[in-house]
Amino acid sequence: MNPPGLLIKTVTSRMFAENCYLASVPGRTDCVVIDPGLEPARIMALLRDSGLTPAAILCTHGHADHIAGNAALKEAFPEAPLIIGEGDAEKLLDPTLNLSALFSSPLVSPPADRLVREGDTVDVAGMSFLVRETPGHSSGHVVFLTKEQNPWVVFGGDVLFQGSIGRTDFPDGDFRQLFHSIRDKLFTLPAETEVYPGHGEPTTIGEEMETNPYVGRGAV
């Protein structure tokens, strides 16, 4: 999938298979980096090879596999603001909260330059992203929705996957919250809306409404 008017490139970390996205407008050399993961050198190489410069770093939430590349990107591109939902900002600076303390290499990210909440917009690199709060996988999870092309695009982090949903067994996870986040914030979007998830392949809202066993039409 690459909707008209938007170029999307993906770097999938080999550990945890986390997707980092570079989104840009054709003809421009600035971009946004969404959820830079555990292999920042590969992200930097793709930026270089694509002739792109980050104008902002967007984080859907503060778990380690989605923020591990923040430090390298901020060092290389200090003018690019780091943006995250206000409810997950503390995870950037706390290895216990961002879950990296569970592994052999606790990590921290630079602090956020901007905190966002429901209804905010992020206007950057010729794109406009609407923020929707989608708690459940983490308490401060947000998604970034852009309506500037047809179909619309959601960068969804660990909320809705192709045929699945984000885990809710972490300390601030909650299945009912996640269920309602998806039903109320995502399934109200047009069926053709494309979802670029934090793990796995892209999908559409319509496909997940019809077939997702956890939150689709057949789920209670």
The predicted-structure confidence for 93-134, as pLDDT tens digits, reads as follows 999 999 999 876 899 999 999 999 999 999 999 999 999 999
- The CATH number for 51's domain is 3.60.15.10
Determine, yes or no, domain membership for 58: yes
Determine, yes or no, domain membership for 140: yes
**Counted domains in the chain:** 1
Percent of the chain surpassing pLDDT 90: 90
Determine, yes or no, domain membership for 1: no
0.85 exceeded by pTM:
yes
Measured CA to CA, the distance from residue 56 to residue 112 in angstroms comes to 11
**Rg for the chain (alpha carbons), in Å?**
16
pLDDT of residue 83: 98
Host domain of residue 91:
7-211
pLDDT for 153 beyond 90: yes
Measured CA to CA, the distance from residue 131 to residue 56 in angstroms comes to 15
Determine, yes or no, domain membership for 139: yes
Give residue 20's region: left, alpha or beta (phi > 0; psi -120 to 50): beta
Measured CA to CA, the distance from residue 204 to residue 211 in angstroms comes to 11
Determine, yes or no, domain membership for 151: yes
Determine, yes or no, domain membership for 220: no
**Three-state SS annotation for 165-207:** ECCCCCCCCCHHHHHHHHHHHHCCCCCCCEEEECECCCEEHHH
CA-CA-CA-CA torsion sign (116, 120, 124, 128): positive
Q: What is the pLDDT of residues 126-145, one digit of tens each?
A: 999 999 999 999 999 999 99
Determine, yes or no, domain membership for 216: no
Determine, yes or no, domain membership for 104: yes
Band of residue 2 on the pLDDT scale cut at 50, 70, 90:
low
